[in-house]
């Protein structure tokens, strides 16, 4: 009998209203339910202003919902104070943004190790070996000692993805991770994220405007007028 996949994050009845103390509050999300399991690659799509990034921020505990619950790595975030919430977020979630945000004064390897240095004060030898192997796995083995200014845009974004994976999170949230790249580099970064999902079992949730990339995800969450509609895919060559 097959075991059910571990739930990385679940949003239950999520509402988000901005400007509650103003005459004209804006309800961005209206009772949204979302569940993402380990090893799943999910794309969030929708028009600008539809609430895609708001949903991503709630799932990653960067913001709190006006109503509803977020269960992140088995913890109800509503029950956590700010310090405990920050600790959970740092342990359970990796983030990839449209711009890589690599620190210019540090090397590729040092940037990738940064989450571990922030959490632990220093990276262990085992951590360094593991992250070095991940960087080599995505074609950055010869870039370890280079600074971001010496790397291409695609290389920088691949390093940013490995940085998100360095602390072995349950969930990686990516907000338009290919938006600043050309088509070829964007496809390479997307393919790499898909491959890392399969290899590590981490759950990936990606906001994107690229319909072709979204169609290659396991599932699409379409955000429209504060609600979600979901579509599953059977990828070619899989099942």
pLDDT at 239 over 60: no
Task: Provide the pLDDT for residue 230.
Answer: 67
Residue 132 lies in a domain: no
Residue 130 lies in a domain: no
Residue 161 lies in a domain: no
Domain with residue 97: its CATH number is 3.40.50.300
Helix, strand or coil for residue 3? coil
Number of domains in the chain: 1
Residue 19 lies in a domain: yes
Across residues 84-112, what is the average pLDDT? 88
Task: Provide the pLDDT for residue 231.
Answer: 59
Residue 164 lies in a domain: no
* Digit-coded pLDDT (tens) for 199-227: 888 899 999 888 888 888 889 998 887 78
Task: Give the confidence band of 71 by pLDDT, cuts at 50, 70, 90.
Answer: very high
Q: What CA–CA distance (Å, rounded) separates 50 from 80?
A: 28
Residue 157 lies in a domain: no
DSSP label at 235? -
Task: Provide the pLDDT for residue 41.
Answer: 92
Of 50-59, 66-75, 158-167, 221-230, which gets the smallest average pLDDT? 221-230
Q: pTM value? A: 0.83
Task: Provide the pLDDT for residue 46.
Answer: 85
Residue 85 lies in a domain: yes
Task: Provide the pLDDT for residue 236.
Answer: 38
DSSP label at 179? T
Residues 6+ apart with CB under 8 A from 165: 94, 134, 172, 196, 200, 202
- The continuous run of DSSP H or E covering 69 comes out as strand 67-72
* Digit-coded pLDDT (tens) for 131-176: 999 898 888 899 999 999 999 988 898 898 889 888 888 899 988 8
Residue 213 lies in a domain: yes
Supply the range of the domain harboring residue 74: 7-101+170-232
Task: Provide the pLDDT for residue 124.
Answer: 86
* Digit-coded pLDDT (tens) for 167-177: 888 899 988 88
Q: How far apart are the two ends of the chain, measured CA to CA in Å? A: 18
pLDDT at 3 over 70: no
């Amino acid at each position: 009998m097959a075991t059910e996949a571990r739930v990385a994050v679940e949003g239950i009845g999520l509402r988000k209203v901005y400007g509650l103390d103003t005459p004209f509050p804006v309800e961005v999300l209206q009772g949204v339910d979302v569940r993402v399991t380990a090893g799943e690659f999910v794309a969030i799509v929708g028009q600008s202003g539809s609430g895609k990034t708001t949903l991503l921020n709630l799932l990653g505990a960067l913001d709190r919902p006006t109503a509803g619950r977020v269960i992140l790595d088995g913890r109800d975030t509503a029950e956590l104070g700010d310090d405990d919430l920050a600790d959970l977020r740092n342990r359970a979630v990796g983030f990839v943004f449209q711009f890589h945000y690599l620190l210019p004064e540090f090397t590729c390897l040092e940037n990738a190790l940064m989450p571990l240095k922030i959490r632990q004060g220093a990276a262990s030898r085992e951590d360094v070996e593991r992250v070095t192997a991940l960087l080599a796995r995505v074609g950055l083995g010869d870039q370890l000692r280079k600074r971001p200014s010496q790397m291409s845009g695609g290389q920088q974004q691949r390093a940013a993805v490995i940085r998100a994976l360095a602390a072995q999170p349950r969930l990686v949230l990516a907000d338009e991770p290919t938006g600043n790249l050309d088509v070829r580099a964007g496809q390479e970064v997307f393919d790499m994220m898909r491959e890392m999902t399969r290899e590590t079992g981490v759950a990936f949730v990606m906001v994107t405007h690229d319909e072709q990339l979204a169609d290659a995800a396991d599932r699409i969450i379409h955000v429209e007028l504060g609600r979600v509609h979901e579509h599953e895919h059977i990828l070619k060559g899989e099942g």
